[in-house]
A = this chain, B = another copy of it.
Amino acid sequence: MRTLKVELGERSYPIYIGRNLLQHTGAMSAECGISRKSRHLIVTDESVAPHYLKKVKDSLESAGFQVAAHIVPSGESSKSLNVYEEVMTTAISSKLDRNSSVFALGGGVVGDLAGFVAASYMRGITFVQLPTTILAHDSSVGGKVAVNHPLAKNMIGAFHQPVMVLYDVDTLTTLPAREVSSGLAEMVKHGLIMDREFAYWCLEHASDLLALDPESLTYGLERGCAIKAEVVSQDEREGGLRAILNLGHTIGHAVEAVGGYGRFLHGEAIAIGMAGSAMLAESLGRADLYHETVAMLKALHLPVSLPSDVSVDQVMEAMQHDKKFSEGQMVFIIPEQIGKVSIVKDVPVAAVRAVVERLQKEGENG
């Protein structure tokens, strides 16, 4: 087992990464100071529950914790205010109190949803992350929690740090192949934004990663979590630096929204967005990285273009609602080199539109 730490003063917390960890959830929760007098809630989804819910529940119960569970449908559509309200109803009916905890057992969807429940139930209770996807090496670290609004992604949320991230890599063996690639998009993103060597490592080990080779996977997740943790420790509430984690996300979120949350997986959408950011770097005359970026993404079996039936107008419209659209100007994370990006505050909307159009042309051509 490897241990990392997110340094945030009194909100600091450990990330444990390794095999066979879920069966120790109870013991690790006790160590974290979680109360045995209060009731707790596991939030998970329909695909994860059959594999891992019993293991987590048993572990917590044998350690003397009282737990209820709420199972949401799988997929992005569960990050909605409706599902949020249903989880709240379960939390209240299960008599959770101020000393209760919410355990998120699943991928980024479950983590973001359960995290916002924990952030706002009785104005905030304890939160534990039990990630079960590759993508969740990103989403489970850093305390950003949210649900979607029909008009735009992650619009409704909070900053609410977990007290522990328990990352059992054995859970990844049941992940569908498309989800594996989607998660690797965030992994290579962590290389692209600030670790050149790691980006190339991801390219070289692409087939090992796709095959879920335990050693490569553990290294990749550890390095990804470490980069995320470092950025978050420096800028918890996204006052500045943290924005670099949004590489590919401005276009990516718009693509997800226009696709109706479900057509594109999050990692797929941001892969398209990262290809777009590299195009933008090129068209703004800042860097010539498009072909190299696309090669990396393709090696991880990720899409790099926009299908022809996706409306460019709708993508542009959705982008206007993005949180990175600040004070009337378009903020973009632009790659400068492999392993280095800049936050550019006034990218012309016309340049962005040209990129979205070119992303679609690339789709038609190849």
Q: Which residues of A contact B (CB under 8 A)?
A: 35, 37-38, 81, 84-85, 88-89, 92-93, 95, 97-99, 116, 119-124, 144, 146, 149, 151-152, 155-159, 237, 320-321, 323, 325-328
List the B residue with the shortest CB-CB distance to A321. B92
Task: Assess the A320–B149 pair: CB atoms within 8 A.
Answer: no
From B99, B122, B152, A92 is in contact (CB under 8 Å) with B152
Q: In the complex, which residues of chain B have a beta carbon less than 8 angstroms from the beta carbon of A116?
A: 120
In the complex this chain forms, how many copies of it are found? Answer: 2
Please determine whether A157 and B123 come into contact, CB atoms closer than 8 angstroms.
yes
Closest to A119 in B: B158
Please report the C-alpha to C-alpha distance between residue A92 and residue B150 in the assembled complex, in whole angstroms: 10
- Label chain A's interface by main secondary structure: mixed
7 of the cross-chain contacts (CB-CB < 8 Å) are A38-B328, A95-B325, A98-B323, A98-B326, A123-B146, A124-B237, A158-B158
Q: List B contacts of A122 (CB < 8 A).
A: 155, 157, 323
CB proximity of A358 to chain B, nearest CB, Å: 26
Cα distance A121–B151 in the bound complex, in angstroms = 13
User: Quick one: given A120-B156, A120-B157, are A151 and B323 in contact (CB under 8 Å)?
Assistant: no
Say whether A149 contacts B326, CB under 8 Å.
no
Which one of B81, B95, B123, B152 lies within 8 Å of A81 (CB-CB)?
Answer: B81
